[in-house]
Amino acid sequence: MKRVFHGALPSLLSIALALAICFVALALSRSDVHLATDAYAQMIFGGVGDFPSFTESGRWGVLTRPWGESTSRAALLLLTGLSVAVAFSVGLFNIGAQGQMTVGALLAAVVGAHVSLPAGIHPLVGLLCAALAGAAYGSIAAVLKVRRGVHEVISTIMLNWIAVNLIENWLVTGPLRAHSEGTVSIAGTDQILPTAELPRLLSDGSRIHLGFPIAVLIALALWAWLSRLRHGFETRAVGLGPEAARTAGIPVERRIYQAMALSGALAGLAGGVLVLGTEFRFPAVLGAPYGFDGIAIALIGQNHPIGVAVSALFFGILRAGGTRMQLLGVHKSFPELIQGLALLFVAARYVWRKLLSGRAARPSPRSSEVQRA
């Protein structure tokens, strides 16, 4: 337990520091400390539920509605965060979660709208297709890396913009655009069939849906896979030292392909959950760049599935609360600022380790890998 706490300490301190800096910035920009306190309270209540109002009125809605907002965001952050974390475990930096997610979202929207299936199976098929699409798209980067030595950071940046431009600026505005009803023109693709929607867990008044439990189960499964099973161990061995792993008889290339496909599948799944859980269509613009957020979530969670889950839930709560901060005139992207700063501080691992243990950090597992590429 102590070891876990010590490992998590840099992330916790980074988040605390980011929260503090943003608090000061908010208080200074409005020259009103009271407003900043209020805004932070709204951010928490908007995410975990408005408990003061609940004890006053006894209406469950004031609790369940925030839960729906925060868990639906947390599910997306968790899946993209796991996507980045899995790629990290094999030593690759998947910046392409955004593109893989976009591809997955499109497939889910198409399967949801144009394939008719019974209610129980439809969402599952939609999610599966989204995951497969993401896996296929993620695999391109792995193939280019292994066969042609193209660095995955560069290739996934390119693949992101290829996917986003082809899908958002062509398919969704052209061939797959929603059929307009009369004179009303609708942005995005056709609405998915009701059978394809992810089931809601609490029937009314809350958008909490099956996506979050699914994401948590996947996080647990990944944790078991990475820490307890042979393939997971081999994957991490490749990430720590591909040459050593090869000498030990581990099929390095195959592990890279598998990890990158899994990483893409998770990002694609995030797209599927977004479309089938909250948007119900591929919207004109996919909204928040959850794929890039995944990088922050993964690193703040120290690339550990459980850590990623905790960090996804925390920032899911903050971001759900962010919409409530708007009532006080604070932009809803404020929690993203907190998240970005926290990532920046986490990036300075060297300093944290030095401060916390008084000795210099060992080089990170990736530094040798980057050098090679």
What per-residue string of b and e applies to 67-81 under the rule 16 or more CB within 10 Å gives b?
bbbbbbbbbbbbbbb
Residue 174 binds another protein (CB under 8 A): yes
Residue 279 binds another protein (CB under 8 A): no
Among the listed residues 348, 355, 356, 357, the single contact to another protein using CB under 8 A: 348
Residue 295 C-beta: closest distance to another protein, Å = 5
CB atoms within 10 A of CB 21: 15
Residue 167 binds another protein (CB under 8 A): yes
Residue 235 C-beta: closest distance to another protein, Å = 19
Which residue lies nearer to another protein by CB, 205 or 340? 340
- Please give the residues from 21 up to 50 whose contact with another protein meets the rule CB under 8 A: 25, 29-30
CB atoms within 10 A of CB 182: 5
Which residue lies nearer to another protein by CB, 64 or 155? 155
From the centroid of its chain, how far is CA 153?
18
3-state helix, strand, coil split of the chain in percent (to 5) is: 75, 0, 25
Residue 190 binds another protein (CB under 8 A): no
Residue 158 binds another protein (CB under 8 A): yes
Among the listed residues 58, 118, 120, 149, the single contact to another protein using CB under 8 A: 149
Residue 302 C-beta: closest distance to another protein, Å = 12
Two tokens, residue 89: 């475990």
Name 301's bridge partners: none
Residue 228 C-beta: closest distance to another protein, Å = 27
CB atoms within 10 A of CB 364: 12
Residue 340 C-beta: closest distance to another protein, Å = 4
Which residue lies nearer to another protein by CB, 244 or 370? 370
Torsion over CA: 92, 372, 164, 293 (sign)? positive
C-alpha separations of 5 from 16, 48, 163, 225, 355 in Å: 15, 23, 40, 22, 16
Contact, 294 vs 309, CB < 8 A? Answer: no
Looking at this protein, which amino acid is placed at residue 319? R
Residue 16 binds another protein (CB under 8 A): no
Angle at 58 between CA 56 and CA 62, to 5 degrees: 90
Residue 241 binds another protein (CB under 8 A): no
Among the listed residues 37, 57, 165, 227, the single contact to another protein using CB under 8 A: 165
Q: Which of 275, 265, 293 is nearest to 105 (CA)?
A: 275
Which residue lies nearer to another protein by CB, 31 or 180? 31
Which residue lies nearer to another protein by CB, 30 or 207? 30
- Please give the residues from 60 up to 99 whose contact with another protein meets the rule CB under 8 A: 93, 95
Which residue lies nearer to another protein by CB, 274 or 343? 343
Which residue, chain included where needed, has tokens 């292994």? Answer: 146
Q: How deeply is 260 buried, as exposed, middle or buried, from its count of CB atoms within 10 A (0-12, 13-18, 19+)?
A: buried
Stretch that binds another protein, among 102-110, 147-155, 218-226, 229-237 (CB under 8 A): 147-155
Stretch that binds another protein, among 71-79, 116-124, 168-176, 257-265 (CB under 8 A): 168-176
Contact, 252 vs 91, CB < 8 A? Answer: no
Enumerate binding residues for another protein (CB under 8 A). 25, 29-30, 93, 95, 144, 148-151, 153-155, 157-162, 165-171, 173-174, 289, 292-293, 295-296, 299, 330-331, 333-334, 336-337, 339-341, 343-344, 347-351, 361, 363-364, 366-367, 370-371, 373
